[in-house]
Chains A and B, each alone.
Chain A
């Protein structure tokens, strides 16, 4: 039997804080050191595959530590990403510990007994070798063997210098690691950026409490979300007004945030603020391309999903989701519209700047290039909306938002129709008998009605909301159907520049 030799002592920084010495690791039983590095795929594969064995090893009294040839932040990030739950240590350049352990390649797993002596080691990913070394089940998924990468202590000085710039702390990756994102890159909310976003406002001001986390939504947290979303500070008053609207109990953001429905939040902005910050109400209005539209909608969604706790897959259980859960913010093109703008409909003076939030399904595009009169066009719009939510669920019991394109709006105006008339005619153009609707899942009203009773898609024209927006050319309007069962009402708030 070969006598075991003592391995070199060390003390390295731990991501848990402070430092850990080899003696700590084998103080109460054997220790497994796994030398790894971020840029070595075999290292990350090994960490991912060893992670499930850690509880078995712990029961057997073996403590597992990953020793990264990387800075602490990188080690922490890779450990989180690979689900590695053992101790995580960072070994700085010039990698003297690795050298003392005579490493040639990463990963290298070294088993040390409780007296600090090396029992054996496995180099590279070697499922059978690790099973023998550790006496615990190790995955039998291929690849069963994979060679590793050169250990950094073997690099020459020039390569090490070249590496110096790589693999360090990455702010953008850090945001993903923290989960401060909707899945897209974000701007890190440094104190400086959040201060700039607040623009002298009191960050501790409580805007409200948001379900489902019942989180205190302070102005500072709204500012942090606005920075993350990529807003410029001049957009912030619009975000704040929208968040205030979302927090109104009648909006029921908590229900919208957690439901299995595809419920997003649409923001419609009216008034002079549109020009002040460059919000788009024209070509491509429901799509990408304009920073204020994209980032204001996104900021509100981040307040809901991060601060408020309605994060997809966690407390947000939406079966399909909807692009409105990423960002949906549009300006009404009041200048090309022949109608009164939305905020005036809702009782605000024309010169005020107002945000209206609507809990809504995804938009449905409605093409019409051939209608020869207003009744026909109103019917096209209404019949398209008849399929929203479900084709036989009448009445909807919620507000539908129609985005009427400039060409359609102009036609209505040329035919002499007001916005009120358009709303009434969309309402009355769509009707079915109870008999036609009585199939599949339908409403109690339809089930109780006599066969020939006409049923409408909406309870009243008041449930039809109209804004005019979109490119000058093209006869494509759209409708956002409602979220049902949420008892949600559209809410409008005036944009305050100084709060």
Chain B
């Protein structure tokens, strides 16, 4: 029996993960603050740890946690960073 699927049946391409860096010294790390409460505190601590390992960090802030990051946020991270850390949920 043939049925009409409620799903979008397009096949999805899974992008391979980028290669992991051997060390963090000199790496530019984007810290994405999604604006969840106390996410900034979490990122502050991550930042300390990254900087102590020689990374250079910068912050990117989402408009609101409940919406996907817009293309301009993604572009900022891709253009300015080698790595990204996202503070997710609370």
Query: Which of A's residues lie within 8 Å of B, judged by CB?
Result: 169, 171, 174, 180, 188-191, 194, 211, 213, 215-217, 220-221, 223-225, 227-228, 252, 254-256, 259, 302-303, 306-307, 485-487
Contact B66 A189 (CB under 8 A): no
Q: Scan B1-42; emit 1 where CB is below 8 A from any A CB, else 0.
A: 111111110100000000000000000000000000000000
Q: A188-B1, A190-B2, A191-B2 given as contacts; is B7 within 8 A of A487 (CB)? A: no
Contact B3 A190 (CB under 8 A): yes
Of A169, A256, A306, the contact of B6 (CB 8 Å cutoff): A306
Q: What are the 9 closest A-B residue pairs judged by CB atoms, nearest first?
A: A255-B66, A215-B8, A194-B4, A224-B6, A224-B4, A306-B6, A189-B4, A486-B66, A225-B6
Closest to A190 in B: B3
Contact B4 A220 (CB under 8 A): yes
- Interface hub of B2, B3, B67 (most chain A Cβ within 10 A): B3
Contact A221 B66 (CB under 8 A): no
A303 CA / B6 CA spacing, docked (Å): 7
Contact B3 A216 (CB under 8 A): no
Contact A191 B67 (CB under 8 A): no
Contact A190 B1 (CB under 8 A): yes
Q: Which residues of A contact B66 (CB under 8 A)?
A: 252, 254-256, 259, 485-487
Q: Which residues of A contact B5 (CB under 8 A)?
A: 180, 189, 221, 224
B58 within 8 A of A: no
Contact A255 B3 (CB under 8 A): no
B68 within 8 A of A: yes
Contact A254 B67 (CB under 8 A): yes
Q: A252-B67, A255-B66, A259-B66 given as contacts; is B6 within 8 A of A188 (CB)? A: no
Contact B68 A216 (CB under 8 A): no
In the complex, given contacts A180-B3, A485-B64, what are 8 additional A-B residue pairs having Cβ atoms less than 8 angstroms apart?
Answer: A189-B6, A191-B4, A217-B8, A221-B7, A224-B4, A254-B67, A307-B6, A485-B66
Closest to A227 in B: B4
Contact B6 A255 (CB under 8 A): no
Closest to B35 in A: A485
For residue A305, give the distance in angstroms from its CB to the closest CB of chain B.
Answer: 10
Would you give 21 A-B contacts (Cβ < 8 Å), ordered by A? A174-B1, A180-B5, A188-B3, A189-B3, A189-B5, A190-B2, A191-B3, A211-B68, A215-B8, A216-B10, A217-B8, A221-B8, A223-B4, A252-B66, A254-B66, A254-B68, A306-B7, A307-B6, A307-B8, A485-B65, A487-B64
Closest to A260 in B: B89
Q: Which residues of A contact B4 (CB under 8 A)?
A: 189-191, 194, 220-221, 223-224, 227
Closest to A228 in B: B6
A224 CA / B7 CA spacing, docked (Å): 9
Q: Which residues of B contact A191 (CB under 8 A)?
A: 2-4
- Interface hub of B6, B10, B65 (most chain A Cβ within 10 A): B6
Q: Which residues of B contact A224 (CB under 8 A)?
A: 3-6
For residue A201, give the distance in angstroms from its CB to the closest CB of chain B.
Answer: 14
Q: Report B66-87 residues with CB < 8 Å from chain A CB.
A: 66-68
Q: A190-B2, A190-B3 given as contacts; is B64 within 8 A of A216 (CB)? A: no
Q: Which residues of B contact A221 (CB under 8 A)?
A: 4-8
Q: Which residues of A contact B6 (CB under 8 A)?
A: 180, 189, 221, 224-225, 228, 302-303, 306-307
A228 CA / B66 CA spacing, docked (Å): 29
Q: Which residues of A contact B64 (CB under 8 A)?
A: 485, 487
Q: Which residues of A contact B7 (CB under 8 A)?
A: 215, 221, 306-307
A216 CA / B7 CA spacing, docked (Å): 9
Q: Which residues of B contact A486 (CB under 8 A)?
A: 66
Closest to A444 in B: B37
Q: Which residues of B contact A306 (CB under 8 A)?
A: 6-7
A228 CA / B4 CA spacing, docked (Å): 10
Q: Which residues of A contact B8 (CB under 8 A)?
A: 213, 215-217, 221, 307
